[in-house]
C-alpha cells in the first residue's frame, strides 16, 4: 500500500475548528499554546470562538488551517506517508509532515505569507472566479486572449479537478472572462467572495516578501517526496522545494495534475488531513477508483 497524505488550503476553515483536539488531548493543547506564543496572539481563541467572518481574514485563516492540519496529523497513530502534497497553503503543512520544515519555521513562514498576501490584496481591487464544466484549455485560451486584447490580467489559478477551474485577476478581466466562458459553454462562471487575486501576478509584492523569509529559513532533506503545486511532480531537493514554494504565490495550483501524477507513481490510497473535506471531493472527481479518507 502506497499512502499519500494531502492537506487543505484556504477556504476549509470553520468556527470551532480544532476545539475538539484541544479539549481532548494534552499534546494538542501544548501545540495550540506554542502557536499562540509564536504568533503573539491567541489564535486558538479565534479558531474556537470566532465567527465565520473572523476566520475569513487571511492573516488568521492561513495559520489557523496550518495549525489545525498539523495537529490533526500528529494525532494519527502510525502515520507513514510515502508521498505528500498540499493545496496552496496546505503545501506548508506537507513540508512539516515530511520533515522539510520544523513546525516553528512552518508557522513563521505561513504568518509571513498571510500578512504579505493581505497587503498585496489591498494594493488594488482584484478577485477570483470559479469556472465549471469547461475544458481547461478553452479557459486558458480565453484568459490569454483577454490579456492580449485588453491588457487586463486574468490567469488560471487553480486546476482543481476536471471541469473545475478557478481564475484570478483584475475585476474587469474576471468580469469579461466570466462572460466569454459562459458564452463558450461553461455551466457556471461566477465570482468568488475573496478579497484578492491569489496565484496571479498581483501577488508579486507578496512573493518578494515571502522569498526573503524562505531564503533565510533552513529547509531539510525530506523523508518522502512532496508533489508541489507549481510543478505537479515529486521533489526532494531542499533548494528546489524553496524555489517552487516561492513561485507558488504567482503560479497556478496544478491540483488535477498533481493527483494524477501521484496515482501514476503508485499512490493507491489518499488521506486528507485538516479541516473540511474539500480535497476528498476533488480527488474523487479526478479518479473515482482511488480510496480517499478524511481526518480532521
The residue-averaged pLDDT of 212-233 equals 98
Q: Any catalytic annotation for residue 294?
A: no
Last residue of a domain, one of 191, 209, 241: 191
Structural domain of 86: 3-122+201-295
In the set 21, 69, 199, 200, the catalytic residue is 199
Q: Are residues 170 and 109 in the same domain?
A: no
Characterise 295 by phi-psi region: left (phi > 0), alpha (psi -120 to 50), beta (else).
Answer: beta
In the set 12, 88, 139, 200, the catalytic residue is 88
Residue 94's domain is classified under what CATH number? 3.40.366.10
Residue 134's domain is classified under what CATH number? 3.30.70.250
**CA dist list (Å): 273 to 127, 132, 168, 279:** 28, 26, 26, 9
| pLDDT at residue 11 in the model | 85
- What predicted TM-score, i.e. pTM, was given to this entire model? 0.95
Residue 193 pLDDT class (50, 70, 90 cuts): confident
Q: Are residues 30 and 176 in the same domain?
A: no
Examine residue 196 and state whether it is found in any structural domain, yes or no. Answer: no
Q: Are residues 102 and 236 in the same domain?
A: yes
Q: Any catalytic annotation for residue 51?
A: no
What digits encode the pLDDT tens for the residues 28-50?
999 999 999 999 999 999 999 99
Amino acid at each position: 500500500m502506497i499512502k499519500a497524505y494531502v492537506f487543505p488550503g484556504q477556504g476549509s476553515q470553520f468556527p470551532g475548528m480544532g476545539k475538539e483536539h484541544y479539549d481532548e488531548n494534552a499534546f494538542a493543547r501544548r501545540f495550540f499554546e506554542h502557536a499562540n506564543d509564536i504568533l503573539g496572539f491567541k489564535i486558538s481563541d479565534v479558531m474556537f470562538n470566532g465567527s465565520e467572518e473572523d476566520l475569513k481574514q487571511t492573516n488568521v485563516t492561513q495559520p489557523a488551517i496550518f495549525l489545525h492540519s498539523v495537529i490533526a496529523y500528529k494525532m494519527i497513530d502510525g502515520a507513514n506517508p510515502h508521498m505528500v502534497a498540499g493545496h496552496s497553503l496546505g503545501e506548508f503543512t506537507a513540508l512539516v509532515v515530511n520533515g522539510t520544515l520544523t513546525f516553528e519555521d512552518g508557522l513563521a513562514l505561513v504568518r509571513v505569507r498571510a500578512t504579505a498576501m493581505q497587503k498585496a490584496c489591498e494594493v488594488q481591487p482584484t478577485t477570483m472566479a470559479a469556472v465549471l464544466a469547461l475544458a481547461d484549455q478553452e479557459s486558458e485560451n480565453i484568459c490569454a486572449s483577454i490579456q492580449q486584447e485588453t491588457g487586463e490580467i486574468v490567469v488560471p489559478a487553480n486546476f482543481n479537478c476536471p471541469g473545475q477551474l478557478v481564475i484570478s485577476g483584475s475585476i474587469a478581466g474576471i468580469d469579461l472572462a466570466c462572460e466569454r466562458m459562459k458564452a463558450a459553454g461553461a455551466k457556471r462562471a461566477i465570482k468568488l467572495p475573496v478579497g484578492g487575486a491569489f496565484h496571479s501576478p498581483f501577488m508579486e509584492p507578496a512573493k518578494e516578501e515571502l522569498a526573503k523569509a524562505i531564503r533565510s529559513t533552513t529547509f531539510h532533506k525530506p523523508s518522502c517526496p512532496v508533489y508541489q503545486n507549481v510543478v505537479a511532480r515529486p521533489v526532494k531537493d531542499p533548494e528546489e522545494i524553496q524555489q517552487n514554494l516561492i513561485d507558488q504565490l504567482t503560479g497556478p495550483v496544478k491540483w488535477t495534475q498533481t493527483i494524477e501524477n501521484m496515482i501514476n507513481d503508485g499512490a493507491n490510497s489518499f488521506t486528507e488531513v485538516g479541516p473540511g473535506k474539500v480535497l476528498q471531493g476533488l480527488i474523487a472527481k479526478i479518479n473515482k477508483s482511488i480510496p480517499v479518507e478524511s481526518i480532521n
